[in-house]
Chain A
């Protein structure tokens, strides 16, 4: 698997948050 040894879960946000409409 091309050197991949583990899958690590990231529970936090993955991308920036678009500001909510006011």
Chain B
């Protein structure tokens, strides 16, 4: 009888962890890579990037990825799509507007974030409908 017990499931644990990781990012605590996007530095945690993006998975998964401190991503008109994606990784919220959706779509395609790509397609498609 003494072995019987309960599992206590903290239902908001994943969002609490993600929220703390986002705060660590904003404060630059334990961030271990700088993404250069059009010359603009974005600090992040490799562990979060690799968990969210197929592109980062292929970059960081091997031993060679440990030594990558700075990573240049494509600049140009697509560059403004990267910051919303980084925010999404750390918050689960994807900010889209008709003006930014094409850039976010391009960045998500580059980063191999298929589900975000699909969400962008749905958003763009819906914005064309009357």
Mark contacts of B1-44 with chain A using CB atoms, 8 A cut-off: 1 yes-contact digit, 0 otherwise. Answer: 00111111111110011011001101100000000000000000
A20 lies within 8 A of B16 (CB) = no
Residues of chain B touching chain A, judged by Cβ–Cβ distance below 8 Å, are 3-13, 16-17, 19-20, 23-24, 26-27
A8 lies within 8 A of B17 (CB) = no
Q: How many angstroms from the CA of A13 to the CA of B20 in the assembled complex?
A: 12
B11 lies within 8 A of A11 (CB) = yes
Give the shortest distance, in Å, between A13 (CB) and chain B (any CB). 6
A21 lies within 8 A of B26 (CB) = yes
User: Across the interface, which residues of A come within 8 angstroms of B16, CB to CB?
Assistant: 13-15, 17
> Across chains A and B, which 5 residue pairs bring their CB atoms closest together, nearest first?
A14-B10, A3-B3, A14-B13, A18-B23, A7-B7
A6 lies within 8 A of B7 (CB) = yes
27 A-B residue pairings within 8 Å (CB atoms): A3-B3, A3-B4, A4-B5, A4-B6, A5-B5, A7-B7, A7-B9, A8-B7, A8-B8, A9-B9, A9-B11, A10-B9, A10-B10, A10-B11, A13-B16, A14-B10, A14-B13, A14-B16, A14-B17, A15-B16, A15-B17, A17-B16, A18-B24, A18-B27, A20-B23, A21-B23, A21-B27
User: Across the interface, which residues of A come within 8 angstroms of B4, CB to CB?
Assistant: 3-5
